[in-house]
Amino acid sequence: MERALDAAILAEALGRAHNGLPSAEELQEMLAQVEIALVLRRASMEPKLIETAWYLHAVASVEEARNLYSFAQQRRAFQVSAHIFDLALSVADASVYERQSWGFAAAIGYRRGGLDPNAAAIAQRFGEDLYQVADNMSGIELLPSRIGLAFLTLNARRLFPLLSAWRRQLEFLADASDLVDLSVTSLGSLQFLILGAEDLLYYFARGNAERYERGMNLLRLAASDDVKTNSLDARWVAAHLFAFGEAALQGSLWNPSVLPDSAASIVRSAFTTGGSPVFTLWEPQRELLTSSPSPYDPQTTRMVLAVPTSGGKSLVAQILAVEQLARTGRGVCYVVPTRSLAREVRAGMSKRVRVLQREVKAEQPDYNSLWDLINAMDEPFGDVEVMTPERLAHLLRHDADGVLRTFGMFIFDEAQLLAEQGRGFILESAISLLHVLTQSTEHKIMLISAAMGNSGGIAQWVAQNQTPLVFRSDWRGPRRLHAIFSTEAEWSTTKIEKTSGTVWKYRHITELKGVIRVRLANGRVERLVTQGDTGWRLVRKARELSSPAASFSTDATSTKQYVIAAEMIEALGHAGSVLVVTSTKADAQRLARELARLNGPQDGLDGLVEFVRQELGDAHPLVACLRSGVGFHHAGLPVEVLEALETAVRDERLAYLACTSTLTDGVNLPVRTVVIYDAPYPGQPEESRFAGARLVNAIGRAGRAGIETEGWIVLIRTQSPSDDHFDELNPTADRLEVRSSLLVDSSLAALAAAETRLSADADAIFSEQDVAADFISFIWTTLSVVERRALDPASLDISNIVAETLAGNQADPAQLQLLQNSARAVQRRYITAPAAARLRWAQPGTSIGSARILDQIAESVARELSRDTIVVGSPGRAVDYLSDVIRDLYSLQEAPPWKFKPTSRSPRDIDVDPVAMLGAWIDGASLPSIASRFLKEVEDDEFRSEQVVGAVSQHFEHYLAWLLGALVELVNSRLEELGSENLICPELGSFVRFGVSNEAALRLLRAGLRSRRLANTIAMRLPETRDSDEAALRSRLALMTISDWRTYFDANSSDLIDLLEFTRRRKRNLLTELLESGVTYIALAAFEWPSSFSNLQIREAKDEPDPRPFGVYAAGKLFAYVATEDHADVASIIDSGFALTVELDLSATKQRLRVSLEP
């Protein structure tokens, strides 16, 4: 347990506590016991703890206490008192009044104690009751704390209507009493509290300084003796909100120290209005944005941020990106390791830049064809692009100068993956090349990580002779509890049975008990042991009745480790969602199945189950698991399914998700509990073990900022556990050092062997593999970039280029010499290669040897096709024509194995033609039908489905999409040189990636639709759109309503969300129009003339499934829907919470609404 239970912190908070209060050590023990009891679901709280909390709250709140307590002590007192009240809400029986008082005390304590996200988490405990408004002012004694608690959520959508309703009720009372206000009545402080809170909220949303001053004055009055009141609670809450207003101003986006004066108001509004508004920054965000050197300074071109998960680093990246975009007009390139994280970042960034009437580019393939790249230059949308390292490397290989013209800022998230074997060097090479190309420009490069122990060293690498901004923080909002689970044998229960075996004649059966070790803040480890018979058994085989221990062998009838783990994990589900992180796909699926068996069927998952069933088929094991509220997540599943699982966890529809560690490397998926299931196996790759950055990333998901105040981390070790394992859950900076993947022993050995071969034979570069091939490709690519700039590659000092890499920066002299010698050998071979060929070999992104083979294949295909009359412009014909070539691609070193088996244990492979299966995939066949057609021999439906899903993901969506895209580019370039117009389908790689065969479906998927099934359905049912461009497709679909989409396309909720985003009008934002001019116009659909034009309202339509359309109501009756093209913008307007005047615009030729801000 962190921070809040540390004895030194408790002592600082208690200060000179009066008699009767516990000492720091006593308080620590009392809190620890409550925390432990919470895990056991039998918690209670001593009254003395509540008394201590109120004492600490008082000394933290009263200015006069500064004589005895420093500001730091008062801050600690707020933190500790908030923690106690937080626990009280979970364990203590109390009245509604007491609970609300505790809730406000906890929330304001967290806010004023610098742990802001915990305040919103406290409010979550009260649910919808917090936002109810009684018509008759009943329960008025509860109103002050409810106002304060609701206000501290800073949820504009809920707060503006709520405060407005309370304000109107009190104004009605004043009018009924012929009073200007209620200052002379017992409700005076309450009225001023509400008015002041509303003004303060308006300032944080719109930046109106007059409203801020008025609001602070009203809160000061509400807290003073100058206003009559019979509610001390109103004064109490007002005093705290006044103090909060002063502190929150320092983190407001309207504060010029947070965003410079040069930033336009619309830049600030991008964060304070619409989706997920931000009214005040968290402590580390504020520190970073006001640090020196300033991150906004054009001279600050290199930044490294090391901040824990849930520390707010994503918002900082958004702020810096939006400010850069608005100030310079140049694009932002945001690099993330996975497509799932890319979608998440894209959605978050889109909310911001749309207010600037800018756009985030839709997902693009990692490996575009040359034609894709040319078309992209003409595309009007895409001020921010989120991409993988592979895509950035691809763009740099093709047109590095174009990348620099397009983007002025490069943000690299999850930068600790530089150390990862394989992909780590792709990231390192892209950053190194960018650094070399931008040393004398104002391009900004920012690296972000939650697990980087040597941030200063990394900054030194990317900065070289410049002054970087290095920011490191250990700040977290939610605290964490660490535990280790294991089993222990109860030897006294051992029973011996005689078997019928001739070798193993006896079976020793021993009961197992579960043990959870919880580490307390004082370092003591508390053991929690299961009570009674768990049903778990250790069964050992023995040759003799009294065999020595060393001669025993574990029997297969012992309770399986994953079964034991699943039962423990299921018991943790009461506290909130659980993420189970494993080393292998098999472990993830085994645990998920067992958890599903324990959890049983669950309600509310029909939509998710149906979506996955449509994508994968009934037989896939994931479908059965989801029906019980359990999922599993690994690379063998399609991207759209993975994203649906992630969304379901965020929406708290999935109680348990078992995943491989690659999920936590790249997706912001915070949960209440993270379980690390560590089951090492022989030959396990070092990079897949739970240690260092990989472990930190996984456990960082525990505790959802803004939703929960505490996260649980449980380590399950199948090996004998030790209390020393707790130290692994809090690794030191040394263990989080990010070092180049080239400098591990195996890589250095491979590079040394390659250097020897290159010295003997220059052509050895064409046969090198793995890490040596990656390094050769980087040097080759760098030389090609130089040559494309019309510079002589022979004159380039390649040794300096090597020194600019992370490896070169971290290497010792001998290691640096090895790298430079290898680079010089590559340079010598590059210079002797034919000029045109060497440039082509740099482009595919394969090893140089594979690139040369591809080039040779392309030459052969182009020569043959130039003499042929066959037309290969469609994807289907192109695949048929290239069938032999596709099979040959599996001889390249990059090719993953193409294997299918009749059973999981069979040594025999099934012969499946990759070309035939690819053809079915492109033709739009569903995954279940592909499985039935090509794997008839596999009797197990689940195993058949798993193999096909894995093959499609690995081979079609990745390998063949990449290699065929590269090959087609090479072929078509040659055909154009030969004057032939008979080109192979230029977008073949994209058709293969998405599994469609017509332009309309491809454009839909390229524009952000996730479902291949939906894209094919739309293309089939709207045949007139098959050759339409994206704009025409958007216009056609925008003519339809959400109900139409459900009916015509059998669209599920995920499909509808994607269609709403697709049909949204680009480069225009109704919220921006409303903010800037005070009025905007909204298009309508399914219009019927209302009987009355009074009291018009826009709200989500009743009795509609999610996502619900926005209905327009007159006198409570629905008469129209908001057009789908305006749905997203209207959602942003509603999210702003602003009071609106809605009128029917009768002057327009088409039915529309006139919406204006109320004065």
Q: What digits encode the pLDDT tens for the residues 576-593?
A: 899 999 988 999 999 999
Last residue of a domain, one of 676, 702, 736: 736
What's the pLDDT tens digit per position in 684-697? 776 667 777 778 88
Domain boundary among 84, 104, 125: 125
Do residue 824 and residue 868 come from a single domain? no
Do 451 and 320 fall into the same domain? yes
Residue 535 lies in a domain: no
On the question of pLDDT at 662 being above 60, the answer is yes
543 part of a folded domain: no
Helix axes 770-788, 813-832, angle to 10 degrees: 60
Residue 482 lies in a domain: no
Q: What is the pLDDT of residue 381?
A: 47
Q: How far apart are CA 512 and CA 493, in angstroms?
A: 9
| Closest residue by Cα to residue 719 from 782, 670, 665, 677 | 677
**Helix pair angle (96-112, 47-61), 10° resolution:** 50
Q: How far apart are CA 77 and CA 88, in angstroms?
A: 16
Q: What is the pTM of this model?
A: 0.93
The encoded tokens of residue 433 equal 């090349």
Q: State yes or no: pLDDT of 44 exceeds 50.
A: yes
pLDDT band at 90 (very low <50, low <70, confident <90, very high): confident
At 889-943, the pLDDT tens digits run 999 999 999 999 999 899 999 999 999 999 999 999 999 999 999 999 999 988 9
- Least confident range of 250-254, 766-770, 1007-1011: 1007-1011
Does 524 fall in a domain?
Answer: yes
Sign of the C-alpha dihedral computed for residues 1009, 1012, 1017 and 1019 taken in this order: positive
Domains held by the chain: number: 7
Whether 1019 shows a pLDDT value over 50: the answer reads yes
Q: What is the DSSP letter of 1011?
A: -
Contact 630, 653 (CB under 8 A): no
Q: Based on the domain organization, do 752 and 710 belong to the same domain?
A: no
Q: What is the pLDDT of residue 382?
A: 67
pLDDT of 129: 87
414: left (phi over 0), alpha (psi -120 to 50) or beta: left
Summarised one tens digit per residue, pLDDT across range 642-655 is 888 988 998 889 99
How many angstroms separate the CA atoms of 1059 and 59, rounded?
Answer: 55
Q: Tell me how far CA of residue 735 lies from CA of 688, 694, 695, 727, in angstroms.
A: 15, 11, 11, 11
Which of 103, 93, 121, 113 has the alpha carbon at shortest distance from 3? Answer: 113
Q: How many CB atoms lie within 10 A of CB 362?
A: 21
Question: What does the mean pLDDT of the chain come to?
Answer: 91
Residues 299, 395, single domain; the answer is: yes
Q: Which of 579, 572, 466, 573 is nearest to 516 (CA)?
A: 572
Of 221 and 227, more confident: 221
Q: Show the tokens assigned to 945.
A: 């489905």
Average the pLDDT over 53-66 and give the result.
86
- Do 280 and 168 fall within a single domain? no
Take residue 464 and report the two structure tokens written for it.
């070289």
b/e map 54-81, b = 16+ CB within 10 Å: bbbbebbbeeebeeebeeebbbbbbbbb
Expressed as residue numbers, the domain containing 20 is 1-125
Residue with the larger pLDDT of the pair 833 and 379 = 833
Is 554 within a domain?
no
Alpha carbon distance 133, 165 (integer Å): 7
**Amino acid (one-letter) located at 708:** E
305: nearest Cα among 324, 287, 288:
288
Q: Cα separation of 591 and 670, whole Å? A: 20
Residues 703 and 751 placed together within one structural domain of the fold: no
Say if residue 723 is in the same domain as residue 746: no
Q: Are residues 270 and 392 in the same domain?
A: yes
Quick one: 342 and 423 in the same domain?
yes
Whether 1040 is in a domain gets the answer: no
Contact 141, 97 (CB under 8 A): yes
Establish if 879 belongs to a structural domain: yes
End-to-end CA distance of the chain: 50
Cis peptide before 731 (omega within 30 of 0): no
755 plus 869 within the same structural domain: no
Model confidence at 256: pLDDT above 50: yes
Domain boundary among 997, 1020, 1043: 997
Helix (H) or strand (E) holding 262: none
CATH number of the domain where residue 426 is located:
3.40.50.300
Predicted local distance difference test score (pLDDT) of residue 1002: 94
User: What is the structure's pLDDT at 37?
Assistant: 78
Q: Is 260 left (phi over 0), alpha (psi -120 to 50) or beta?
A: beta
Quick one: 220 and 269 in the same domain?
A: no
Per-residue pLDDT band at 109 (split at 50, 70, 90): very high
Tokens of 355: 């207010």
Indicate if the pLDDT at residue 4 is higher than 70.
no
Distance CA 470, CA 305 (A): 6
User: Collapsing DSSP states into helix, strand and coil, what is residue 290?
Assistant: coil
Let me know how long the chain is. 1159
Q: In the predicted model, is pLDDT for residue 175 greater than 50?
A: yes
CA distance 124 to 710: 13
Each residue's pLDDT tens digit, 530-550: 989 999 999 999 888 876 766
pLDDT of residue 380: 43
Q: Is residue 145 part of a domain?
A: yes
Say if residue 370's pLDDT is above 60. Answer: no
Average pLDDT score over residue span 824-835: 97
244 and 373 part of one domain: no
Residue-wise pLDDT tens digits, 402-430: 999 999 999 999 999 999 988 899 999 99
